[in-house]
Every structure is written in structure tokens, then in C-alpha cells.
Amino acid sequence: MKTEQQAPGRTAAPPTVETELAPIGTKGVIGGAGALLLLTVAVVLVAGWHLTQGTSSVGFGDLVQLALGQGSDHAGEVLVGSRIPRLAAGIAVGFALGVAGALFQSLSRNALASPDTLAVTGGAYLAVTVVAAFGFSVPIWASGITAFVGGLLAAVVVLGLAGGAGTTTTRLVLAGTAMALALQAATSALLLLFEEETTSLFAWGSGSLSQLGLGGFWMALPVVILATGAALLLGRRLDLLGLGDDSAGVLGVPVRSTRAFGTLLAVFLTAAAVTLAGPIGFVGLFAPVVVRLCGRFVPAVHRHHVLLPAAGLFGALSVVLADALLRAAMGADAAISIPTGVTTTLAGAVVMIVLARRGRDSGPAKQPRAARIGARSRLRFAVVLVIVTVLAGSAVVVGLLGGDTWLRTGDIALWLSGDAPAFVQFALDERAPRVGAAVIAGAALALSGALVQATCRNPLAEPGILGITGGAGVGAVLVVTSGATAAASNTTILIAAVIGALVAFALVYGLSWRHGLNADRLLLIGIGTWYGSMALTTFILVRSNPWDTPRIYTWLSGTTYGRSWEQVLPVAVVLVLAVPVALLVRRELDLLALDEDTPRLVGVGLERVRLMVLVVAALLAATSVAAVGTVAFVGLVAPHMARALVGGRHIRVVPVAILIGAVLLGVADLVGRTVIAPAQLPAGLCVALIGAPYFVYLLARSRA
């Protein structure tokens, strides 16, 4: 991985779509006014089609008659009561997110910055969920302020941890994605713990245009208009800011205040959109990107007085068109339960992957200092290995003892000998498989993370961020929602999860290959695939039996509840086979973690080893998902802690990381079973709530 060289105090702008596609000449096919007019006409035409889509029999002819003053009262009621509010929400939300995305991308000079990749939507969603979960009764305008505060805090944290504006694309997206994972874990915990209070927020959390009237639209409209107008007043400053902080400062632009005010405006727009329709994903990413790509034909869009309204109009067009296409393709009755955000997130994931493939080099994600620690002494390694082994054993023993009823160590001995009382026998028969699932799956995820981090040369990567666990989750959820019998589903879930993980891995690896495999490109495409798999999972969930949704959602959050030895055995087998492979290629892993050139110089088949290692990592993650659901952060935290304790040599990192992973998920399972007993919190959420602060710590230490 190449390291950027720059003069002290200067901010280097990473390559963006805008700079790569800036037109050579000054003349285009049409001017800025013409482009805005075309977009407006397109929005009007699509809006007209959107009004004809619905569950009632009111069609285009009825609407024409209504416009001529000859329509029926029924048609008027349908139009005013349902279709116009839905259309108005789509236009307002799409416009707000388009302008917000354009602001974020311009302020950070980063084509992949958006309300989603900066975790702004995640922060706003969490804030709204907190209000609902704890029963606070607030008017809609106060909900908007709540969403604004949550989104602003998330954006400030992500930008601060990533190193501010001008940071590398990989680093910014990694910081935003990890923060989004943490916020999602906290939101999921509230949705599960306060199921009755938040029952309406699951589908809304993926972005829904369903409205009870125009009240929400009229509340959001002034915010969108005023924030967009203020952003247009910043247009000239934003144009100059694109030249770089130093150049803009020389030309009289107050860089810090411009960036701060622009960020506030973007968060205001995002909060208004989230309050009105939930977090509709990735419109803020692809709307400004598509507009910028048109700069070859319309050079005026590179100036912000045209770019901002154009991005807003294209965002509105995208949301309304996605909703209309969904209804036309699936039928209004079937599409009513599908959040519009699912469609836009899938489109945004595709755009993100395309951008990652087009980028020349998004720059390295600076490694934390702990990741660069050299080899430790043998004595230190031996001491650490003994300690983590004892901790892993303790996690197993305490996990067997803990629960809504605590047992004693003697009960375990009686259970093993077959002489335990009935209630002890029942308790340990239920606890043993889930403790085994937690410990073994945690070890497998840790090993998978160690392999992924070595291959990507990035200690902030993990199987989930590469899309592997997301693909496994899609495959498993397809089986869980298919109505298969419980006896057959365990094997079928395992097969489906493995197939899903391998398909996702093949997709990420194939798309990342371009005259070789670039580690940054692999990460960015993996993150895009992860977002796409999450959208597909949501689509499958909302179309399944609604009574099964809490159970499936709990499983997706990472749970050991109701595990059996049949589900644990495949993970154990794959782990036993993978450990010797990892130790066999330990030298190659050490070389892969250095750079691209050193392995080739010493005769290592770089791509062959990398492919084999990633396949093993995918199998480990897939079997773990089949056993305990989708668990994040174990594959991130455990290998990094191992390197910090014993150095960077994989002969030492691998066993220590495996044991740390077993401890993390084992303890998380115990905490989830006991902290709010008799209720339970999924182990995956406990791990995320523990792992997220540690990830924040890693990013904070590695800031430039």
C-alpha cells in the first residue's frame, strides 16, 4: 500500500469522480438552466405516473377527469388522502438527501461521502428510536430536532475519527461504516427490548413513504427550502473549497466556518428526511454522483449553484421513480409492505461498487500504532497464551453456571456424570450447546478476521465489512423464511449460509480485480456488497410472515438462543481444519501484511495465497453465521488485540486471536443472558456495544 507524501499542514484531496471526469472544454451540450429544466420535467412526468399507482382502482382516466372537475368523490379522497401525501414525501425526502449528499461530498472532497457512509442517518434513526422506546411524547417538529441532534453527533464523530476533510476514501468509509454498525446495534437492542413501543419502527427504519396526511410534509418543507437556500449562498465558497484548503484560504474563503456551516445544513436536511420517511438509504450518495458524471455534457453542474438543485431534483426523481417502479413491478398490494429505502439502498450499493472500481487509488487507511508493533519476546507470548487460555476456560465454566438461575460448579460435575437433578440436567442441556456455539463461533470469527486483515493489510477490516457475513446472512434468511421444517432447516441453513458467503466473496473478489487486487478497492467493494446484502435481507424479512420477524431479527442480531450441537459441529470442524492452514501459511501472511512487492520479491504466489486465505476466511464466517447469526466486531477486535499483545507474527497472532474471540463472544453470551434476566439480549448486540468503543479507540489513535 502506497503512502501519501504531502507537505506539513497541507490537506491532500483524494481523487473524486468530479476531478476525474472534469471536462476539458467549457462548452457542453446544454447549459445549467437547461439541465435543471429537464430534471424538473422528468420529476413532473414521473410524479404523474406515480399518482396512478396505488391499491385502489383509481387510474389515470379517473385522475384526468378529476383534474377537469368531473371526477368522483372517491377518486378525490384517494388522491388527497393517500397518493399526494406519499408523492410529496418522496419528492421532499429525495430532494433533501440529494442536496445533503452533494454538500457532504463537496465539503470532504470525497465522492463516497453521504448521509449513509457518514452514519448521519444511523444517528438520526437511533435518536428517534430512543424517543419512541422510552415513551417520550413529542410533536413532529421536536422529532426533527431529535433526529438532527443524533445525526449531527454521528457526523462529527465520524469526521473527527477519520481525520476530517480531505481524508482518504477508504478511511472515511471505514469509519462511517463501523459507526453505522455500532449505531445499528444500539438501535436493534432498543427495538428488541422495547418491542411494543417500537413495533412500527422496523419497516420505517428502512425508509417508508407511507403517510397519514400532508402534516409531516408541511413541517419538513420549510426546513428543506431554507437549508437549500442557505447552501446556495455558500455556492461560491464551495466552488473554491474544491481547489483545496490552502488555495481556498488564500482566495479569502473561511475554510473552517464554511465546512462547519455546510455540515450543519447537510445534517438539517438529512434529519428532515429521516423524520418524514425514515432513513431512505443512499440517495445522498448516488444522486450527486450521477449529476457530477453528467459534467462532461453539462459543465455547469461543477458549479454549486447548479449542482445543489440538480442533485436535489435527481434525488427526488430517484425516490419517486423507485417507489413507482416497485409498485408497478410487484403490484400495489404486495409493494405496500416493502420500504422504498430497500430499493434505493440496492441502487446506492451498485453505485458505490462502480465508484470503487473507477477510482485510481483511494489512499491508505493509516494503521493504528498497535498494528505496527514488532515481535514480542517468547516469554511474553507464553504468558499471554496462558492467560487467554485460562480466560477462555473460565468463560466456558461461568457460561454454564450463569443464567436466570445460577448453578454451582458441583452441578457441572454431577451433570457430566449423569447424576444431576432434573432441573440442573435441563438447565445445562440447554446452556451447553449455546456456550459451545458462542465460544467456537467467536474463535472462528476471530481467525477469519485475522486472515482478512492480513490479506487486506488493514487492521480495521473484518469479514462483515468485506460482505462475507452479509452474504451468508442472505442465504440463511432465505431458508429461515421459506417455511422449512425445523429438522431439515439446520442443515439447509448451513448450506445456504456457505453458498451465500461464497457468492458474496466471489462477487467482491471478482469486482475488485483490475490488473491485480488492490486492498483499498477490495474493502470499498466489500462495504458496498455489505450494504446491498443488508437491503436484500430487509426485503426478505418484510415479505415474510410478520409473526416470524422478531425471531429472525433476533437471529440476525447474533444469538445463541436455542442452539443445538448439530449447529455447533460444522463450525468446530471448519475451525479445526482452518487452524493448520493458517499456521501453514503463517510466513506468507506475515509478508502479505507488509506490502504488495515484498511477497513477489521472495517468490510468494501472491494472488494464489490471497485467494486461498480469503476462501478459508469466507468458510469460517459462513459457518459461524449459520450457528449464531450475524455477529460484528469479533473479527475486528480479536486479531487487533492479539497483535497488540504478542506482536505481528501470525504464528503467535493466530492462537491468541482465536482464544480472545472465544472469550469475547462467550462473555457477550453470558451478559446477554444475565444482565436483564429473564429477558435476553442477543450476544451479537452485546459484542457490538463492546466492540464499537474499541473501534472508536483504534480510529482515534490512528488519526493523521
The pLDDT tens digits for 529-544 are 888 888 888 888 777 7
Residues with Cβ within 8 Å of 569's Cβ and at least 6 positions away in sequence, in order, are none
Residues with Cβ within 8 Å of 543's Cβ and at least 6 positions away in sequence, in order, are 334, 337, 338, 481
Residues with Cβ within 8 Å of 201's Cβ and at least 6 positions away in sequence, in order, are 128, 129, 132, 191
Find the mean pLDDT for residues 346-358: 82
517 beta partners: 513
As a dihedral over the C-alpha atoms of residue 40, residue 41, residue 46, residue 47, rounded to 10 degrees, the angle is 60
As a dihedral over the C-alpha atoms of residue 496, residue 499, residue 500, residue 501, rounded to 10 degrees, the angle is 120
How high is the mean pLDDT of the chain?
79
Q: What is the pLDDT of residues 281-331, one digit of tens each?
A: 788 888 998 898 888 888 888 899 999 999 999 999 999 998 888 878 777
Does position 456 have pLDDT exceeding 70, yes or no? yes
- Phi first, then psi: what are they for 513, rounded to 5°? -80, 120
* 520 or 297, higher pLDDT: 297
Measured between alpha carbons, how far is residue 207 from residues 449, 499, 534, 538 in Å? 31, 29, 13, 11
* DSSP H stretches of helix in 163-282: 169-193, 201-204, 215-233, 235-241, 245-250, 255-277
CB 431 within 8 A of CB 601: no
Residue 70 pLDDT grade (very low, low, confident, very high; cuts 50, 70, 90): low
Does position 565 have pLDDT exceeding 50, yes or no? yes
Percent of the chain whose predicted confidence (pLDDT) is above 70: 78
Find the mean pLDDT for residues 636-640: 87
User: What integer pLDDT is reported at residue 79 of this predicted model?
Assistant: 74
**CA 191 to CA 199: how far, in whole Å?**
7
Does position 16 have pLDDT exceeding 50, yes or no? no
**CA 90 to CA 322: how far, in whole Å?**
10
**CA 623 to CA 322: how far, in whole Å?**
35
User: What integer pLDDT is reported at residue 28 of this predicted model?
Assistant: 54
User: What integer pLDDT is reported at residue 271 of this predicted model?
Assistant: 86
* 310 or 589, higher pLDDT: 310
CB 202 within 8 A of CB 184: no
CB 128 within 8 A of CB 274: yes
Distance in angstroms between the alpha carbons of the first and the last residue of the chain? 16
**CA 137 to CA 135: how far, in whole Å?**
6
Measuring CA to CA, which residue among 395, 454, 446, 374 is closest to residue 637?
Answer: 446
SS3 label, residue 675: coil
Residue 23 pLDDT grade (very low, low, confident, very high; cuts 50, 70, 90): very low
Tell me the three-class secondary structure of 414-462, residue by residue. Answer: HHHHCCCCHHHHHHHHHHHHHHHHHHHHHHHHHHHHHHHHHHHCCCCCC
Give the other-Cβ count within 10 Å of 136's Cβ.
Answer: 11
CB 437 within 8 A of CB 567: yes
Measuring CA to CA, which residue among 458, 447, 690, 440 is closest to residue 565?
Answer: 440
Encode 425-443: b = buried (16+ Cβ within 10 Å), e = exposed. Answer: eebbeebbbbbbbbbbbbb
Percent of the chain whose predicted confidence (pLDDT) is above 90: 19
* 3 or 221, higher pLDDT: 221
Please tell me what DSSP assigns to residue 72.
-
Across 36-45, 207-216, 472-481, the highest mean pLDDT is recorded for: 36-45
CB 263 within 8 A of CB 107: yes
CB 221 within 8 A of CB 276: no
Cis peptide before 339 (omega within 30 of 0): no
SS3 label, residue 517: strand
Find the mean pLDDT for residues 63-85: 67
Q: What is the pLDDT of residues 94-123, one digit of tens each?
A: 999 999 999 988 888 877 788 888 888 888
Measuring CA to CA, which residue among 465, 498, 489 is closest to residue 624?
Answer: 498
Backbone conformation region of residue 634, classed left if phi is above 0, alpha if psi is from -120 to 50, else beta: alpha
Q: How many residues does the chain have?
A: 704
Measuring CA to CA, which residue among 343, 364, 379 is closest to residue 461?
Answer: 364
**CA 273 to CA 223: how far, in whole Å?**
10
Give the other-Cβ count within 10 Å of 31's Cβ.
Answer: 14
Q: What is the pLDDT of residues 658-695, one digit of tens each?
A: 999 999 999 988 888 887 767 777 788 888 777 777 77
The domains found in the chain, sorted by start residue, are 28-50+58-114+135-142+203-342 (1.10.3470.10), 382-701 (1.10.3470.10)
**CA 695 to CA 265: how far, in whole Å?**
28
